[in-house]
Structure 1
């Protein structure tokens, strides 16, 4: 029992100190990125020496509520040289009809209707083969693109010959529910800060599939998207980085998105993310036998540690519930901690404050969300950990091959268009 108690105590230390350490790394990295690479360039779109052709690919599946507004937002872009390709992936609603009407309205729009749902990677694959642009930009079918986003993304390819992909900055636009308001802080304090820090370290875990631009030669170099991966964005990132293409983050390339507003929607989204991450880690485990891939090792290990943390967190939660009835001898374990919990809450608030300060550079009034984002550790740590525990075994054991199909998640569209 003494060894068990010691193991539980060490697990408790890991559960509380791991997010503490990572928060400090993200805070320092994000601030350094902001002051050295971000703030000094201003927010006005740059003038480019050339404007290469951009093919904007929009994969769509049952997106009748949002697809028209998404296409219209792309057409309003200030970038002078682009085309739009929408690949309808076996939609059962009115999406194909709406797309045909839009194709008559816009000369720059081409529409491809697939009879069978084969998944987002397939839609992106076929759209790329049909595109004529030097750069391929992919956007989700429910997103609003800022007028300067395309210019900011392309600016990296014009100045960097080894740039394989540039990911943009998704912003939450539906903010009426508690879950949506919490995600405003998540996209700033977690996703945005992590990408800034990873960019400094030279390797990014994943581009944001909702808005990202690719070099077409880079895509062909890695064989385009794999059809059987449930998350196309993570896998294509790793394929590019393994071939030593540079992955960049451009926070000024803004894209407004709808996020899930129900617990079921959050659960389905996070399970898919967790399963996709696990599948990528499984597929690319071979990097450990190649010294040339050593810069990917820390990114790989950080993800593995996050999975271990999720299992440890849920394990301690279960032990705490059991301990309420059957106390564990010789253990000092407390799921509701004292000073360590206070320190973790302080660092979380500091992280939220820093992230909202950085993102207020692009979006005023973000500090009004501080009251809501403080609930992130309470609500989202448990949800994210449960999703990871649920999805990881499936990711590690699922038979690969075929096509990973998709369904449109809950994003509260009816209330926020």
Structure 2
């Protein structure tokens, strides 16, 4: 294939892949909204039974937020729950605060780990102490909505094959441009993808910040793997491979903190990208099992997305090189001529629809539409670069069995308020 033909093919791929996926997400999310959300009141369901829910919270250096997080859980409009907090080798005042909370409230139990073993290990140890059949795992810096537990449990009560239900994370720190853009991202990208995947019958990533599991399902798949950097993606794939139903419940709200600095955002996106490629590598065996054929399209789509990131970054690098040092090599713009305008316009349409749907959960969220215009310029570039950087590390650098330890998350400007 001639160089010009290859450039043409890759330029068409760079353009049409996000175009097609955006249309798929818009159609899927809108269909989910019409079928499962529109016209329904947001009153929490009244259940025939209220099984014990164990709220499992792994924590590492969370002295600034752990009290507020536990307080939000204690305000839950659910009659039967316990809280199990696992301190994973914190070096700040988190263990002392947890012991004080446990002494004050009988519903709170605490496990103290002397060494930082990583979030998956903390979840595994904590599960052994949970008495409930339903495990609600959430981050130690998140606020749980009072009715979230009812919405999540309703799925388990109605379906014996429901293995996990992921909730609806909402951004609560909005003091910087980066955080405000993520308000739109969680609606127009993450929320839309989960709605579309639910319609297609394969939700491939529960939100690690809020996800409920059936304990029997977790035991069936061997719990969380301790060597995966993104425990939420991997455990979802394990559940899907064992034919457990994974669902999305948009009414189960959880208010989260997101990175507000470029450094923190970069670290987060590299971790997400590395975790995704690790999962693809580990679960490549689905191609030898005909029963897993419904996972094949998702696997292919993720591989294509990685290829798109490399093509996008390569075109950007060649264009920049030609701009600084003009040469005669074949060069294509990242989005030549009218194509860039088409993609940006479709992105704005997608964001408008997503925010319009999510107005059910945040009345003033449409005001953030202004900040969404920056999404293509900031997040496409960062996400593509993060994938290019992280993929080799996931494929060749992370050894099986090595503990995936964590660091305290970046909360950016929120820590200065």
Tell me if both proteins adopt one fold, taking TM over 0.5 as the criterion: yes
Deviation at 1:411, TM superposition (A): 1.5
Question: Secondary structure, in 3 states, of the residue corresponding to 1:147?
Answer: coil
Counterpart residue number, 1:359 = 358
Give a deviation string over 1:305-334, Cα, whole Å, max 9, x none: 1111110000000111222233445x5722
Cα drift, residue 279 of structure 1 = 0.6
Q: Name the structure 2 match of 1:172.
A: 171
What pairs up with 1:114-125 in 2 under 5 angstroms? 114-125=113-124
8 A contact 2:164–2:212 mirrored in 1: yes
Q: Residue 405 of structure 1 aligns with which residue?
A: 405
- Partners of 2:189 and 2:359 in 1: CA distance: 15
Q: CA deviation at 1:184?
A: 0.4
| TM-score using structure 2 length | 0.97
- Indicate conservation of the 8 Å contact 1:204/1:299, yes or no: no
- Counterpart residue number, 1:326: 326
- Return the alpha-carbon distance in structure 1 between the equivalents of residues 300 and 220 of structure 2: 26
Residue of structure 2 equivalent to 1:380: 379
Aligned to 1:24: 23
**SS of residue matched to 2:403:** coil
Matched position secondary structure for 1:225: coil
Q: How many residues align?
A: 414
- In the other structure, the counterpart of 1:66 is 65
**Cα separation, 2, equivalents of 1:232 and 1:224:** 10
Using structure 1 for the length normalisation, give the TM-score: 0.97
CA distance in 2, matches of 1:183, 1:218: 32
Structure 2 distance, partners of 1:333, 1:153, is 48
The residue aligned with 2:53 is 54
Cα 1:116–1:201 shift into 2, 3 Å:
same
Q: CA deviation at 1:42?
A: 2.1
- 1:336 deviates by 5.0
SS in 2 for 1:117: coil
Match of 2:79 in 1: 80
Hey, what does 1:252 align to over in structure 2?
251
Question: Match of 2:2, SS?
Answer: helix
CA contact (8 A) 2:88 2:116 kept: yes
Over residues 274-299 of structure 1, what are the superposed CA-to-partner deviations in whole Å (9 max), with x where a residue is unaligned? 11111100000000111100111111
Q: Is the 8 A contact 1:48 1:155 kept in 2?
A: yes
**SS of the residue 2:38 aligns to:** helix
How far off is 1:304 after superposition? 0.8
Q: After superposition, give the CA deviation of every residue in 1:190-213 in whole Å (9 maximum; x if it has no partner).
A: 000000000111111210000000
Contact 1:59 1:140 (8 Å CA) reproduced: yes
- C-alpha distance after superposition, 1:344-403 (max 9, x if no partner): 111101000000000001101111111111101001111111110000001011211131
Cross-structure match for 1:93: 92
Structure 1: segments with no counterpart, 5+ residues: none
CA distance in 1, matches of 2:364, 2:96: 39
2:415 alignment partner in structure 1: 414
Q: Verify the 8 A CA contact 2:187 2:354 in the aligned structure 1.
A: yes
RMSD over equivalenced CA pairs, Å: 1.2
Matched, 1:343 2:364: no
Q: In 2, are the aligned partners of 1:9 and 1:332 still within 8 Å (CA)?
A: no
Match of 1:282 in 2: 281
